[in-house]
Structure 1
Amino acid sequence: MTQQHAGHTDTSFTLETHLDAPGHGRAGTIHTPHGDIQTPAFIPVGTKATVKTLTPEQIKDTGAQAVLSNAYHLYLQPGPDIVDEAGGVGAFENWDGPTYTDSGGFQVMSLGVGFKKVLAMDTAGLKETDIRAKSGERLAKVDEDGVDFRSVIDGSRHRFTPEVSMQIQHQLGADIIFAFDELTTLVDTRTYQEQSVARTHRWARRCLEEHNRQTQARADKPLQSLWGVVQGAQYEDLRRQATRGLIDLSKEFEDSGQRGFGGFGIGGALEKENLGTIVGWVCEELPEEKPRHLLGISEPDDLFTAVEAGADTFDCVAPTRLGRRGGVYTLDGRMNLMAARFKRDFNPIDPEVGGYASDNYSRAYIHHLLKAKEYLAGTLCTMHNLHFMIQLVDNIRASIIDGTYQEYKAEFMGRYYANKK
């Protein structure tokens, strides 16, 4: 059911169709106060209210429908009060479409147990010390009430609780916001994962309570949709328990006349080989009428797997980070334009994919820019990678709707991974 708030309609979801294939995949539309998102959809990450190297107009040219920013980083700089005064993160960055903010939960791991480590999807060949930072090295420490952070900018100390995260995200004003959670690693013990899931559930209740308080206190602002985040690592019982707990919690609030969760995020370190299975466990439990966002996934094979398992939207820094280093996606796989073989290659990055970078510049020119350390190189490669990823997911959506999904998947995967050993 939608709610009215100072003339603004709440975020909602329309389910259009399911895959003409086994699984939980579907196409739909997320309706927000700042426009619709056709799903499945890839959401670019604009951590500090900017997708690095791109203007909002260039982001729009890639086909992006929404942008996701980071509550922790915007809290540190410039401060949520300044973003609020500007009219919210969309107005602040001159983006007129839908916006997301994450809760700071990723930084619980990335600045804590995972500081300067890799969020592994595969632990084969890795030692625990490759994944977990020593206690004294960490910039985030978790307790029952919240998390103590040390700033990545100046080392100053800051306290995040579920209530603080909600207050910050309401000031940032994104259409879709996430509950404050604890992200764990694949090498945390089963006992710790159990404790963490229970704590994240207790934090989710506090997030809903504060979300409802902030919604009432800020009745002049567009309605924001709070999404719960499912954790539980690689354990089926914990994933299902966490999902059911969030659904019950949301229903409890809705039954009392308050706002529950408008959708759900699926978080955590996910084993690549079990990605579809884990996402499937969660989506089997989730209500069909609410959207699901999978955090931190962007490899093409993972996107197909996640769509089939029931995920609707995705975000990841990989396409933009890769682009700033000269890495680009093509229909024949990834390549790095820094390589010497591109010095006299006057072909587009990928003429079939097209987009602004491929339509106007050669591999040789971008190779030159990379070698010369010109900023334009990052801009062009980033534009191309976002265009590639967004076009891929848009094509997946179209194939779901017209019943050709399996054929499209086979064609794309067969070509993209043809040379992979």
Structure 2
Amino acid sequence: MTTDQFTFTVNKTDGMARTGEIRMPRGVIRTPAFMPVGTAATVKAMYPDQVKALGADVVLGNTYHLMLRPGAERVARLGGLHKFMNWPYPILTDSGGFQVMSLAALRKVDETGVTFQSHIDGSKHFMSPERSIEIQGLLGSDIQMQLDECVRLPCSDEEAERAMRLSLRWAERCRIAFGEQPGKAMFGIVQGGAVERLRIESARELAALDLKGYAIGGLAVGEPQDVMLRMIETVEPHMPKEKPRYLMGVGTPDDIVEAVRRGVDMFDCVMPTRAGRHGQVFTKHGRMNLRNARFAEDTRPLDESSKCTASNTYSRAYLHHLVRSNEILGMMLLTWNNLAYYQELMAGLRKAIAEGRLEDHIGEIKEGWAKGERDGKAEIGHHADNIATPAEG
């Protein structure tokens, strides 16, 4: 059942992990949830009905990309992002802050906002916290993110503190600009680099704003996995337990499993779609690079036990041929497989938490990856491979 309000309910916990539901007018998001990235109003190489059929309850769109092309005002005139991309279910929009910092050719950040040049045509733009919320409102997204400043790690403590405090001030401005929108939500973003005291202060200050949800930002940007996990463990006790927690831009299957273990509810990453377009697949055996010559005469499917047609029907030899020939069908099939695997991973985690057997389930997942690596079937995807490339959904 949907609702005319935004609500979050934790149904069951297992250790720090939890499974629950976010309810809103456009649908229910089952948590822990993986959100396929639809950066420019499309999950690349996938039809919207395919994405839904795989089990996705929500997709992510990006403010930066959509404001540049086709433009937020145009999307609004065309009926909003849901109608525009034929996705009638929940949409979360990133504020665009990370893309401004990482993609814009030239940028200047001050208290008022950020002035930048488009990476597409060099045109000049200005984004304030208020303008970011305005754009997300024009798009019509259901969950909107505050504008923040994301710094790459490693960075100095002074730089992390400056960006964190600016992000806090921008969060308050975004909260005021968002106002009261029944059925929708604005999330704050915890920043602070890899400095524990800054992360704690950021989380506490944001919690005092009483927002509908909270994200952990500024991770999966080059730091080792142990640093990312330590920051999650640092922040978790200071995040409201009755609100959803979203780890932005994460990640590899192993990153997701470990973050779920530590109480995270929502994830997004370009990894499954980007990897699929570059010949890499994720399976219960681990990750495979279909460009590898050893698959040239391999008649087995990617995963005969999967319910996904792309995974259980086409031979690895055929997929290898498509990848090596740069055929579009290869990108479509591998993306389909990858998103199916990610959604199957999330469904399994939800079920295991509900049954109180998460640790056993994680052990089974990791043994499958390790066995695949030992047998030469696959490689385990590592955290270092999960550095976001925001131009690619």
Paired with 2:298 and 2:274, the residues of 1 have a C-alpha distance of 23
Matched, 1:396 2:349: yes
1:31 aligned partner: 23
CA displacement at 1:29 relative to structure 2: 0.3
Paired with 2:167 and 2:312, the residues of 1 have a C-alpha distance of 47
Q: Structure 2-normalised TM-score? A: 0.90
Matched, 1:61 2:53: yes
With 152-161 and 339-348 compared, the bigger mean Cα shift is at 339-348
1:386 aligned partner: 339
Paired with 2:69 and 2:53, the residues of 1 have a C-alpha distance of 27
- CA root-mean-square deviation: 1.7
- Which of the residues 283, 305, 313 maps onto 1:360? 313
For 1:391, what is the secondary structure of its paired residue? helix
For 1:30, what is the secondary structure of its paired residue? strand
Paired with 1:10 and 1:170, the residues of 2 have a C-alpha distance of 17
Q: Structure 1-normalised TM-score? A: 0.85
- Which of the residues 84, 103, 110 maps onto 1:143? 110
| Matched-pair contact (CA < 8 Å) for 2:3–2:24 | no
| Matched-pair contact (CA < 8 Å) for 1:347–1:362 | yes
Paired with 2:174 and 2:119, the residues of 1 have a C-alpha distance of 25
1:323 aligned partner: 276
Paired AA for residue 48 in structure 2: P
Structure 1 residues without counterparts, runs of 5 or longer: 1-6, 113-137, 216-221, 251-260
- Which of the residues 9, 23, 27 maps onto 1:14? 9
| C-alpha spacing 1:8/1:63, structure 2 compared with 1 (3 Å) | closer
| Matched-pair contact (CA < 8 Å) for 1:323–1:385 | yes
CA displacement at 1:405 relative to structure 2: 0.8
| Matched-pair contact (CA < 8 Å) for 1:53–1:379 | yes
- Which of the residues 80, 104, 108 maps onto 2:96? 104
| Matched-pair contact (CA < 8 Å) for 1:170–1:224 | no
1:207 aligned partner: 174
CA displacement at 1:392 relative to structure 2: 0.5
Paired with 2:367 and 2:295, the residues of 1 have a C-alpha distance of 25
CA displacement at 1:384 relative to structure 2: 0.4
Aligned length: 370
Paired AA for residue 8 in structure 2: F
Structure 2 residues without counterparts, runs of 5 or longer: 374-378, 381-393
1:264 aligned partner: 214
For 1:361, what is the secondary structure of its paired residue? coil
Matched, 1:345 2:298: yes
| Matched-pair contact (CA < 8 Å) for 1:11–1:175 | no
Paired with 2:32 and 2:345, the residues of 1 have a C-alpha distance of 10
| C-alpha spacing 1:163/1:8, structure 2 compared with 1 (3 Å) | farther
CA displacement at 1:175 relative to structure 2: 0.8
1:118 aligned partner: none
Matched, 1:246 2:235: no
Paired with 2:143 and 2:326, the residues of 1 have a C-alpha distance of 36
Paired with 1:247 and 1:156, the residues of 2 have a C-alpha distance of 37
CA displacement at 1:8 relative to structure 2: 7.1
CA displacement at 1:109 relative to structure 2: 2.6
2:289 aligned partner: 336
| Matched-pair contact (CA < 8 Å) for 2:219–2:248 | no
Paired AA for residue 101 in structure 1: T
| Matched-pair contact (CA < 8 Å) for 1:111–1:140 | no
CA displacement at 1:345 relative to structure 2: 1.5
Matched, 1:73 2:68: no
| Matched-pair contact (CA < 8 Å) for 1:26–1:400 | yes
1:92 aligned partner: 84
| Matched-pair contact (CA < 8 Å) for 1:149–1:158 | yes
For 2:236, what is the secondary structure of its paired residue? helix
